[in-house]
């Protein structure tokens, strides 16, 4: 297997992005976690207060020969609302903001081009932050692969399932 690349994305509750990207060919792993804040080794209760500066994110490791960063970002723009500040649906607070963390100038350039292209799809301005990655902290074990382990939960049925339906409708050829 070729060297995996990595990107960190935040677009609301991390369970949503995790569920979406686990369905996509070329995504070798998705790990829920926290990034962008000032508290070292944060726990969920701290992050959910909205006072740490951290965002709920997913760390995606992917095979660039199978899926490009551009395609990963196309999915990102299509499966959450990047025009709402500090909010996705009923999830409100800075910990749910739309954000992309890059690790080098090449990624930053791809993200900038993707954002420009995505803006044409939205009437309102995209408010997604684009920042260099400092540190990623994995979330607690009970947050990992939440949708698969708790499909009966109301949040999974009402919030995550529609995102998966969008994924299936718009990106069927990319699904595992």
Q: Can you tell me whether residue 82 is helix, strand or coil?
A: coil
Query: pLDDT tens digit string along 114-153?
Result: 999 999 999 999 999 999 999 999 999 999 999 999 988 8
What percent of the chain lies above the pLDDT cut of 70?
99
Q: Total domain count for the chain? A: 1
User: Could you tell me the sign of the dihedral formed by the alpha carbons of 32, 139, 131, 107, in that order?
Assistant: negative
Percent of the chain with pLDDT over 90: 93
**pLDDT of amino acid 151:** 87
Task: Of 111, 29, 98, give the one whose Cα is nearest residue 70.
Answer: 111
pLDDT of 1 reads: 58
Q: What is the pTM of this model?
A: 0.96
Q: Is 13 a catalytic residue?
A: yes
For 48-57, what is each residue's pLDDT tens digit?
A: 999 999 999 9
Q: Domain residues for 97?
A: 5-174
pLDDT one-digit tens code per residue, 34-43: 999 999 999 9
Q: Give start and end residues of each alpha helix (H) in the chain.
A: 14-21, 44-48, 69-79, 105-119, 146-149, 154-155, 161-170
pLDDT of residue 128: 98
Catalytic residue among 13, 16, 32, 156, which? 13
Tell me the pLDDT of the chain averaged across its residues. Answer: 96
What gap in Å lies between CA 67 and CA 101, rounded to an integer?
18
Please give the torsion angle defined by the CA atoms of residues 102, 105, 111 and 115, in that order, rounded to the nearest 10 degrees. 120
Q: What is the CATH number of the domain that holds 157?
A: 3.30.1060.10
Which residues neighbour 116 within 8 Å (Cβ) at sequence distance 6 or greater? none
């Amino acid at each position: 297997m070729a060297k995996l690349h990595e990107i960190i994305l935040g677009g609301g509750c991390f369970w949503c992005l995790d569920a979406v990207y686990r369905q996509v060919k070329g995504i070798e792993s998705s790990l829920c976690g926290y990034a962008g804040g000032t508290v070292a080794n944060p726990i969920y209760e701290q992050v959910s207060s909205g006072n740490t500066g951290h965002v709920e994110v997913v760390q995606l490791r992917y095979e660039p020969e199978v899926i490009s960063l551009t395609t990963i970002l196309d999915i990102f723009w299509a499966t959450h609302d990047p025009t709402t500040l500090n909010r996705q649906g009923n999830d409100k607070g800075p910990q749910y903001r739309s954000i992309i963390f890059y690790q080098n100038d090449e990624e930053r350039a791809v993200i900038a081009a993707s954002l420009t292209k995505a803006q044409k799809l939205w009437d309102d301005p995209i408010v997604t932050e684009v920042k260099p990655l400092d540190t990623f902290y994995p979330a607690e074990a009970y947050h990992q692969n939440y949708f698969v382990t708790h499909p009966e939960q109301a949040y999974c049925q009402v919030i995550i399932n529609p995102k998966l339906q969008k994924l299936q409708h718009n990106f069927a050829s990319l699904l595992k």
